[in-house]
A and B are shown apart, each in its own frame.
Chain A
Amino acid sequence: MPALKLRRALPRPTRRRVVAGAAVVVLVAALVTWAALPERRSWTATDQRLTVLSGPSGTEPVALDTRFYLPKDRDGRVPAVLLAHGFGGTKDSVSGDAESLADRGYAVLTWTARGFGASGGEIHLDSPDHEVKDAQRLLDWLAARPEVRTDAAGDPRVGVVGGSYGGALALLLAGQDPRVDAIVPLITWNDLGRAFFPQSADGVTAPGVFKKSWAGLFFGSGSSSPLERDRPAVPGDPACGRFAADVCAAYLKMATTGTPDAATTALLRRSSPATVLDRIKAPTLLVQGAVDTLFPLSEADANARGIARTGTPVRVAWFTGGHDGGEGPQTDRDRTKFLTATWLDHYVKGDGGAPANSFTYSRVTGFSALDRGLVANGYSDPDYPGLGGTGRTEVTVAGPAQPVANPPNGNPGGLSSLPGVGGQLSSLLGGVAGDLPGQHAEFDSAPVTDAIDVVGAPSVRLRVASPTGSATVFVKLYDVDPNGTATLSGGLIAPVRLTGLPRDITAAQPVTVTLPGIVRRIDSGHTVRVVVATSDQAFLTPADPAVYTVAVEPAVTLPTVVGTPIANPQVVWRYVLLGVLAAIALGLAAVLLLRRRRETPPVAEFADTPLVVRGLRKAYADGFVAVEQVDFRVERGQVVGLLGPNGAGKTTTLRVLMGLTMPTSGDALVFGRPLVPGAPILSRVGALVEGPGFLPHLSGYQNLRAYWQATGRPLEDAHFDEALEIAGLGDSVHRRTKNYSHGMRQRLAIAQAMLGLPELLVLDEPTDGLDPPQIAEMRRVLRRYATDGRAVLVSSHLLAEVEQTCTHAVVVNKGRIVAAGPVDDIVGESPSVQLSVSDVTTAATVLEGLNVRSVQQDGKSGLIVDMNGTPREEVVASLVRAGVGVDRVVPRRRLEDAFLALVGDNSRGSGDR
């Protein structure tokens, strides 16, 4: 029946299996649920379009797309955070930060700045009359909210946080509105004019070199929003997109000429926090990126100095990231988040002590092996040292004055960074930088003897001669490893535009060039290379070809800071690992100590009996009972046969005797000691159960040797020669066992069981596969073995086998003993005879006349006669005299009677019962 088969094939559901299975299911379900369920939000968010009155007159309405987050669990009024997004973003760009701030118990207002996303209005570049005024109106709105804590009527308790465009807004708003309680501007500018027209030559006031690629990206992202479909259709100007007319005009002009005119300068000035720093009273945390070619560290430095001048608390943190480097490594993100939270908690919420004034920064130490991101170590220094570092190291570079060519229209141009491909930190640090031959001059130092921790802005002194009197060059500082691989830290370069230059280099006056601030360790053995190049793809260079001559003074100043490493929170895992290892060691020791159990004392009564089996029962986990009740004994000198049909429970009994299977109840005692798995008494038992088990790749001899080695007993105790003689394999003993015939393996297995001449030998179907002469030999061997106080237990399903080999027999059927005793008792001649006669009726009559006990018909021509001592020849003679033909006379034997009577003619094994 298929259903039954299936039931057999599947493991039966025992109690233990059910419990284990349920535990696994529950565990997996819990893990999946935990992973799959969305986190329970601790806040609510409301989207709302707020129309605020703004503009120079304060009467122009503009609709702002806002979202207001409120912590669900709040005690009274909560402090607020105004969270501004970066250029080209929307309120959605900062949702992650907003959520985590709301989690910390702040009411958070995010909004899409005018000109972006679904908000109305045009982009005025953080103009005080527009974007900043919008934000002031949002402060009014916050102050009116019943959930928001206020300092006075109309004055909310609020911090302003934002990155880049939003960071400048925070600074400008804090400068324009005293209601702001703290600000955290990230990766933002101090002076937009300087950011777009950087000039690295000290003391030169003329605008620098136009940073065309960043400006283009900025302008591009404002004129074509990625969220095009979300915003109301803007009629208009394909050139200007959503930029306000004045901003657009300024861009078009400066991008065309490469120099800002007065109006553009004024416009950029208006959008720069530099103008309001002295009015900022809100404690300021400035976070700036060291991999940022748009707003380098010098912007934050200028902001920090400007704000600190008025006594306002300022803290500066640098991280490895920025407009080029992205959010940076995880440790940096965590640090920025932590600094922001503690800053707001103290200055806005009023929780926690005043944050330290320490300066923190990070240095890349390598790749993360797992996500291919960068890994940085954090460092701190008690005070912000500025870009000059706390110390300085001078490195001497050498090289003659060299001519360098300015390519027409800057093409081909050198490469230092890839603006707009944010987050590709690894490629940036790996060096996308490339200088073109003929367009750059190199000045190399000798290998540095000690590693230099550069933290800040290096400076060099440069001399330039130009036939036109002016020159635009880019100064770069490379770290060159001993293999010659040059790395430009952060892709940062110093653009210099000089005028009034002599034609001859000898007449050129040195100018000091301050390079962008970097964080880098120059390892010992590395060299410092100063490169002066004429072109860079990120900048607009003079269109006309020219050949300049450049020279660099030998002394290069490198600012250094020896920071204190910030403890990495991951270090805790080391202690966890150590703890786990210690726990494992303790656990192991405990298990070893507890398991060291003493051998049970022998049952004195049976201390000299090779084997006593008492009430043995074995039920398997699926409910099948292989052995119901088995009791028997094996005495010294006996060869006991365990006789029974297949499946009677013989093998299970023998498995218990080998310590492979634990009996359900009852026990087996060898010399009085119970047989349990691993009981030392097993060393006095030799066994062959369920066929031989050999390593197929070893020869018979090697197998026996390997087996004996595993016993750990002395070699001389093994009696190899006797065992090999019993195996009788001849030279074949040196062949691999996998090539053996069944009989050869069987003999080898018997030999293995006899190794060490164990006092009790247990053999399961030993003659299986042997030919008749070998069987005869085996019988002799077993009889002989059982002398000297040894005993043998042989199992068989063959009657003749037991009869001829054993001194005693135990008959099992269906898991029970049905007969036991000396073979002679059982196997001796039976009082009955089986006759085959020609005439059954006559024969029966004749036989009844004789002195027999009973006559029974057996088949058509057969009779079974209980002779009751009457000699067989007399019976035959009587029958023949009566004219009955006798075809056969077969003596019957007792064991056969017993076997058939007890076992029945049912050929099915107990396994089927």
Chain B
Amino acid sequence: MSSAATGYRPSATMPIRAEIRRQASRRRTQLALGFMVLLPLIILVAFEFGGGGDDDNGGGAFSSLVDLATSGGLNFALFSIAVSASFLLVVVVALFCGDTVASEASWGSLRYLLAIPVPRARLLGVKLVVALGYSLTALLTLAGTAVLVGTLRYGWHPLGSTVAAEIPAGEGLLRLLAILGYLAVVLLGVAGLAFLLSVLTDAALGAVGGAVLLWILSSILDQITALGSVRSFLPTHFSDAWLGLLSTPMQTDDVVKGALSAVCYATLFWSLAFYRFTRKDITS
């Protein structure tokens, strides 16, 4: 015989739909997703107004993405993703994953959720799934808007790159999805870090900012070639490996290593987060 109140089942608490709605009602969720729609439009306007200013200073493969950005919808989307990948998306993912538990703690609502009682592991699980869902939504919103806007303005053309032959539009779309998939996997590292910090602190800003700062630190260390093979262990080391997916045939070696690194880091951080949260005294 269950001791619980009628209608209470641990596995029915904190329904994912409720958590989605809970987060959707928040201004920062709306702003972040809104910005994902806005960014491609801003880039588009910038390209429209900034025509002719050719100050190509030879940034390698990256500058070629700029040159090709206006050659079609797919290239426009690729460019939008490329400029967002290293910072904007990191911040957005850190926001969704770092804020989710810490903000409940800072509002004081966390203890009431736990007194319902939502089992702690379930609370974290639901929070994590929803945060990851929003992160993925942000990524797809950005890419989707960019493809749509770019295609409306520049047309549906093959995906061009200076690395290899042009990729037919249909396959190009698949490549774009593969790139998004890889970015999503790499961002799991940030998601893990932010989520762990979110569990460790009651300050939402601390969790988000801490995750972004550590990510930047890792990027900076990765620039220092003197560190040698230690760099391969930095979570950001393979973050640009998606460029390899543009060549024909695709360069997947670094992609695989990057995915491995991100999965390991994410698993480590999440394990720590669950371990800590299911044992600690909630003091908020």
How near does chain B come to A718, taking the closest CB pair, in angstroms? Answer: 10
How near does chain B come to A827, taking the closest CB pair, in angstroms? Answer: 30
Contact with A along B156-170 (1 / 0, CB 8 A): 000010111110000
**CB-CB nearest in chain A for B108:** A693
Query: Is the beta-carbon distance between B244 and A697 smaller than 8 angstroms?
Result: no
Q: Which of A132-140, A244-252, A659-667 is found at the contact surface with chain B? A: A659-667
Query: Is the beta-carbon distance between B107 and A683 smaller than 8 angstroms?
Result: no
Q: Specify which chain B residues have a CB less than 8 angstroms from the CB of A574 in the assembled complex.
A: 256
Contact with A along B1-24 (1 / 0, CB 8 A): 011111111101111001101100
Q: What CA separation (Å) do A713 and B5 show in the bound complex?
A: 9
How near does chain A come to B205, taking the closest CB pair, in angstroms? Answer: 15
B201 at the interface (CB under 8 A from A): no
Query: Is the beta-carbon distance between A690 and B256 smaller than 8 angstroms?
Result: no
Query: Is the beta-carbon distance between A577 and B256 smaller than 8 angstroms?
Result: yes
B116, B240, B248: most-surrounded residue (chain A CB, <10 A): B116
| Known contacts A375-B244, A662-B281, A690-B108, A711 near B163 by CB under 8 Å | no
**CB-CB nearest in chain A for B162:** A430
Q: Specify which chain A residues have a CB less than 8 angstroms from the CB of B228 in the assembled complex.
A: 35
A368 at the interface (CB under 8 A from B): yes
Query: Is the beta-carbon distance between B256 and A365 smaller than 8 angstroms?
Result: no
**CB-CB nearest in chain B for A426:** B60
Which of B3, B5, B163 contacts A366 (CB under 8 A)?
B163
Query: Is the beta-carbon distance between B238 and A370 smaller than 8 angstroms?
Result: yes
**CB-CB nearest in chain A for B126:** A710
B112, B250, B282: most-surrounded residue (chain A CB, <10 A): B112
Q: Specify which chain B residues have a CB less than 8 angstroms from the CB of A752 in the assembled complex.
A: 112
Q: Specify which chain A residues have a CB less than 8 angstroms from the CB of B209 in the assembled complex.
A: none
Interface members, chain B 232-268 (any A CB < 8 Å): 233, 237-238, 240-244, 246-251, 253-254, 256-257, 259-260, 263-264, 267
B110 at the interface (CB under 8 A from A): yes
A338 at the interface (CB under 8 A from B): no
Contact with A along B134-173 (1 / 0, CB 8 A): 0000000000000000000000000010111110000000
Q: What CA separation (Å) do A438 and B251 show in the bound complex?
A: 41
**CB-CB nearest in chain A for B249:** A365
A682 at the interface (CB under 8 A from B): yes
B25 at the interface (CB under 8 A from A): yes
Contact with A along B77-108 (1 / 0, CB 8 A): 00000000000000000000000000000011
Q: Specify which chain A residues have a CB less than 8 angstroms from the CB of B4 in the assembled complex.
A: 680-681, 683-684
Query: Is the beta-carbon distance between A526 and B165 smaller than 8 angstroms?
Result: yes
Query: Is the beta-carbon distance between A712 and B117 smaller than 8 angstroms?
Result: no
A897 at the interface (CB under 8 A from B): no
Q: What CA separation (Å) do A366 and B7 show in the bound complex?
A: 60
Q: Specify which chain B residues have a CB less than 8 angstroms from the CB of A576 in the assembled complex.
A: 260
How near does chain B come to A453, taking the closest CB pair, in angstroms? Answer: 13
How near does chain B come to A405, taking the closest CB pair, in angstroms? Answer: 31
Query: Is the beta-carbon distance between A367 and B25 smaller than 8 angstroms?
Result: no
| Known contacts A366-B163, A366-B244, A678-B114, A709 near B18 by CB under 8 Å | yes
How near does chain A come to B244, taking the closest CB pair, in angstroms? Answer: 4
Query: Is the beta-carbon distance between A698 and B111 smaller than 8 angstroms?
Result: no
A240 at the interface (CB under 8 A from B): no
A613 at the interface (CB under 8 A from B): no
Query: Is the beta-carbon distance between A681 and B227 smaller than 8 angstroms?
Result: no
Q: What CA separation (Å) do A271 and B244 show in the bound complex?
A: 44
Query: Is the beta-carbon distance between A658 and B111 smaller than 8 angstroms?
Result: yes
How near does chain B come to A181, taking the closest CB pair, in angstroms? Answer: 35
Q: What CA separation (Å) do A874 and B246 show in the bound complex?
A: 104
Q: Specify which chain B residues have a CB less than 8 angstroms from the CB of A682 in the assembled complex.
A: 115-117
Q: What CA separation (Å) do A659 and B282 show in the bound complex?
A: 9
Q: Specify which chain A residues have a CB less than 8 angstroms from the CB of B163 in the assembled complex.
A: 366-367
**CB-CB nearest in chain B for A574:** B256
Query: Is the beta-carbon distance between B282 and A660 smaller than 8 angstroms?
Result: yes
How near does chain B come to A716, taking the closest CB pair, in angstroms? Answer: 9
A580, A581, A678, A691: most-surrounded residue (chain B CB, <10 A): A678
Q: What CA separation (Å) do A297 and B9 show in the bound complex?
A: 75
Interface bin, chain B: 35 or more
Q: What CA separation (Å) do A662 and B60 show in the bound complex?
A: 58
**CB-CB nearest in chain B for A675:** B117
Q: What CA separation (Å) do A446 and B112 show in the bound complex?
A: 73
Query: Is the beta-carbon distance between B108 and A710 smaller than 8 angstroms?
Result: no
How near does chain A come to B179, taking the closest CB pair, in angstroms? Answer: 11
Q: Specify which chain A residues have a CB less than 8 angstroms from the CB of B107 in the assembled complex.
A: 693-696
Q: Specify which chain A residues have a CB less than 8 angstroms from the CB of B118 in the assembled complex.
A: 678, 710
Query: Is the beta-carbon distance between B9 and A35 smaller than 8 angstroms?
Result: no
Query: Is the beta-carbon distance between B244 and A367 smaller than 8 angstroms?
Result: yes
Q: Specify which chain B residues have a CB less than 8 angstroms from the CB of A687 in the assembled complex.
A: 112, 115
How near does chain B come to A587, taking the closest CB pair, in angstroms? Answer: 8
**CB-CB nearest in chain B for A684:** B5
**CB-CB nearest in chain B for A600:** B3
**CB-CB nearest in chain A for B27:** A697
| Known contacts A580-B260, A580-B264, A710-B113, A691 near B282 by CB under 8 Å | no
A689 at the interface (CB under 8 A from B): yes
Contact with B along A194-229 (1 / 0, CB 8 A): 000000000000000000000000000000000000
Interface members, chain A 548-584 (any B CB < 8 Å): 568, 570-571, 573-574, 576-577, 580-581, 584
Query: Is the beta-carbon distance between B112 and A711 smaller than 8 angstroms?
Result: no
Q: Specify which chain B residues have a CB less than 8 angstroms from the CB of A711 in the assembled complex.
A: 8, 13, 116
Query: Is the beta-carbon distance between B22 and A695 smaller than 8 angstroms?
Result: yes
**CB-CB nearest in chain A for B71:** A483
| Known contacts A568-B253, A660-B281, A367 near B18 by CB under 8 Å | no
Query: Is the beta-carbon distance between B256 and A660 smaller than 8 angstroms?
Result: no
Q: Specify which chain A residues have a CB less than 8 angstroms from the CB of B2 in the assembled complex.
A: 599, 680
Query: Is the beta-carbon distance between B115 and A372 smaller than 8 angstroms?
Result: no
B121 at the interface (CB under 8 A from A): yes
Query: Is the beta-carbon distance between B8 and A35 smaller than 8 angstroms?
Result: no
| Known contacts A599-B3, A659-B115, A696-B107, A369 near B260 by CB under 8 Å | no
Interface members, chain A 683-733 (any B CB < 8 Å): 683-685, 687, 689-698, 702, 706-707, 709-714, 717
Q: Specify which chain A residues have a CB less than 8 angstroms from the CB of B116 in the assembled complex.
A: 682-683, 707, 710-711
How near does chain B come to A600, taking the closest CB pair, in angstroms? Answer: 9
Q: Specify which chain A residues have a CB less than 8 angstroms from the CB of B229 in the assembled complex.
A: 35
How near does chain B come to A450, taking the closest CB pair, in angstroms? Answer: 14
Query: Is the beta-carbon distance between A577 and B263 smaller than 8 angstroms?
Result: yes
| Known contacts A366-B246, A683-B8, A696-B107, A659 near B227 by CB under 8 Å | no
Q: What CA separation (Å) do A584 and B116 show in the bound complex?
A: 30
Which of B10, B19, B251 contacts A375 (CB under 8 A)?
B251
Query: Is the beta-carbon distance between A369 and B282 smaller than 8 angstroms?
Result: no
Q: Specify which chain A residues have a CB less than 8 angstroms from the CB of B25 in the assembled complex.
A: 695, 697-698, 702
How near does chain A come to B275, taking the closest CB pair, in angstroms? Answer: 10
Which of A370, A482, A584, A707 contacts B241 (CB under 8 A)?
A370
Contact with B along A765-780 (1 / 0, CB 8 A): 0000000000000000
Query: Is the beta-carbon distance between B230 and A31 smaller than 8 angstroms?
Result: yes
| Known contacts A580-B260, A683-B117, A709-B15, A689 near B111 by CB under 8 Å | yes
Query: Is the beta-carbon distance between A713 and B166 smaller than 8 angstroms?
Result: no
Q: What CA separation (Å) do A679 and B25 show in the bound complex?
A: 30
Q: What CA separation (Å) do A581 and B249 show in the bound complex?
A: 25
23 contacting pairs across A/B (C-beta < 8 A): A367-B244, A368-B244, A372-B61, A375-B244, A430-B162, A526-B165, A573-B257, A576-B260, A577-B260, A595-B121, A599-B3, A658-B114, A677-B114, A678-B10, A683-B4, A683-B5, A683-B117, A689-B115, A695-B25, A695-B107, A710-B15, A710-B22, A713-B12
The 4 closest A-B pairs by CB, nearest first: A366-B247, A693-B108, A369-B243, A712-B12
Q: Which residues of B contact A (CB under 8 A)?
A: 2-10, 12-15, 18-19, 21-22, 25-27, 60-61, 107-121, 160, 162-166, 227-230, 233, 237-238, 240-244, 246-251, 253-254, 256-257, 259-260, 263-264, 267, 278, 281-283
**Contacts A370-B237, A375-B251 supplied; 19 other A-B pairs, CB < 8 Å:** A31-B233, A366-B250, A367-B61, A367-B251, A369-B61, A369-B242, A372-B60, A375-B253, A570-B256, A599-B3, A655-B282, A659-B114, A678-B114, A683-B116, A706-B22, A710-B13, A710-B15, A714-B7, A717-B5
